[in-house]
Structure 1
Amino acid sequence: MKVVMFLVSLILFVGGLAAFGYAFDVAPEFHVPVFAGGIIAVSLSLALPFHLLERLD
């Protein structure tokens, strides 16, 4: 189960960083939502292992 959590966190982290990078390449009305989505994805990628892994052991 720890491997699955690691992969989910890794995908969220890399996807969030990609959203940061592509935020200003999309249409102007989507700059803020894409960047905010990146912030949320990176936050979730760090929060999930800290809060869920201690309960899954």
Structure 2
Amino acid sequence: MLFLVYVVLFLGGFYLFGAAFNAEAWQGLIFSAGIFAVSLALGLVVHSQRKS
């Protein structure tokens, strides 16, 4: 189940990267949200591996 959360965050972040270039406004905020989503996905994976 957590794998799906990681994948959605990771791929959603990449989607936000691309969407930022097509947006009329708030490009920087959308791109930053993509960076945050990808970073969060990778951070959660690393954190969950440390526990086990």
In structure 1, what is the Cα distance between the partners aligned to 2:4 and 2:21? 27
Instruction: Please state if 1:10 is matched with 2:7.
Output: yes
Alpha-carbon contact 1:5-1:49 (below 8 Å) kept: no
RMSD: 1.2
Aligned AA for 1:54? R
Q: Please, what TM-score do these two structures have when normalized by structure 1?
A: 0.80
The higher radius of gyration belongs to 1
Aligned residues: 52
Q: Please, what TM-score do these two structures have when normalized by structure 2?
A: 0.86
Structure 2 unaligned runs (5+)? none
* Percent of paired sites with the same residue: 40
How far does residue 13 in structure 1 lie from its aligned partner after superposition?
0.5
Which 4+ runs in 1 deviate beyond 2 A?
52-55
